[in-house]
Amino acid sequence: MPFGKRFDVGDGLRLHVVGDGPKDGPPLILLHGFPESWWAWRKQVGPLAERGFLVIAPDLRGYGDSAAPEGVENYTLDRLVGDVVGVADALGVGRFDLVGHDWGGVIAWAVAARHPDRVRRLVAIAAPHPDVMRGQMLRHPRQWLRSAYIGFFQLPSLPEKMLRARDFRRLRETLVRTSRPDTFTAAELDRYTAAWRRPGRLTAMLNYYRALRRKRQPVGPIEARTLILWGEEDRFLGTHLAEASGAMCADAAVLYRPDATHWLHLEEPEWLTEQIAGFLADPR
Catalytic residues: 102, 209, 262
Taking the C-alpha atoms of residue 222 and residue 218, their distance in angstroms, rounded to an integer, is: 12
**What are the helix and strand counts (H, E) for the chain?**
12, 8
Cα distance between residue 261 and residue 216, in whole Å: 30
Q: Is the dihedral of CA 271, 272, 273, 278 positive or negative?
A: positive
Q: Among 143, 99, 105, which Cα is nearest to 241's? A: 143
What is the crossing angle of helices 186-197 and 201-210, to 10°?
A: 80
In residues, how long is the chain?
284
Torsion angles phi and psi, residue 56, rounded to 5? -125, 115
What is the amino acid identity at position 36? E
- Please tell me whether residue 28 adopts helix, strand or coil conformation: strand
DSSP three-state, residue 55: strand
